[in-house]
């Protein structure tokens, strides 16, 4: 069990970004707030959470996906799938490789490779401090 002050400090530092993630996933402000609250409750009850910020990111995403009020976006196939779009669909819409392959009309192996490429690009951008 984490103490109240450390949870309050974590909330002050991370709540705005976590709420934005939950809102993007759920599409509803109240549902996003519920998901954020659930993530912090889960953290407060988990003594083996490891890095609290990382735990909160994943818990917020999982709670938001579980509370999603809107279905996956319609399967609008872009002219060309790009790694960033693949990563966004995987993260924000909870799509797996099979879902991504179907959405973008590409083979599963290509979806897997593009997902890996997108994650590598994100790592590079985060290391460089850019978006």
Contact (Cβ atoms closer than 8 angstroms) between residue 62 and residue 91: no
Number of domains present in the structure of the chain: 2
Of the candidates 58, 60, 47, the one whose C-alpha atom is nearest the C-alpha of residue 16 is: 60
Domain residues for the domain of 27 are 4-66
**Of 8-17, 47-56, 91-100, which one has max mean pLDDT?**
8-17
pLDDT at 71: 57
Residue 117 resides in a domain: yes
Burial zone of 45 (CB within 10 Å; 0-12 exposed, 13-18 middle, 19+ buried): exposed
Confidence check: pLDDT of 101 > 80: yes
Judge if 97 and 48 occupy the same domain: no
Residue 72 resides in a domain: no
Judge if 25 and 60 occupy the same domain: yes
Judge if 100 and 46 occupy the same domain: no
Mean pLDDT of all residues in the chain? Answer: 85
Per-residue pLDDT tens digits for 28-87: 999 999 999 999 999 888 878 788 889 999 999 999 988 875 555 555 555 578 898 899
Residue 114, SS3?
A: helix
Judge if 104 and 58 occupy the same domain: no
Contact (Cβ atoms closer than 8 angstroms) between residue 90 and residue 47: no
Residue 77 resides in a domain: no
Q: Is the pLDDT higher at 91 or at 71?
A: 91
pTM: 0.66
Judge if 59 and 108 occupy the same domain: no
């Amino acid at each position: 069990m984490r103490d109240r002050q450390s949870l309050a400090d974590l909330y002050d530092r991370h709540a705005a970004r976590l709420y934005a993630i939950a809102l993007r996933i759920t599409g509803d402000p109240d549902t996003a707030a519920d998901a954020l609250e659930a993530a912090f409750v889960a953290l407060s009850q988990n003594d083996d959470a490891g890095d609290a910020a990382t735990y909160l990111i994943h818990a917020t995403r999982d709670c938001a996906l579980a509370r999603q009020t809107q279905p996956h976006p319609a399967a609008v196939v872009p002219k060309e799938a790009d790694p960033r779009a693949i990563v966004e669909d995987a993260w924000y819409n909870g799509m797996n490789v099979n879902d991504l392959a179907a959405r973008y009309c590409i083979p599963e192996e290509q979806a897997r490779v593009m997902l890996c490429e997108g994650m590598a690009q994100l790592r590079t951008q985060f290391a460089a401090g850019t978006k």
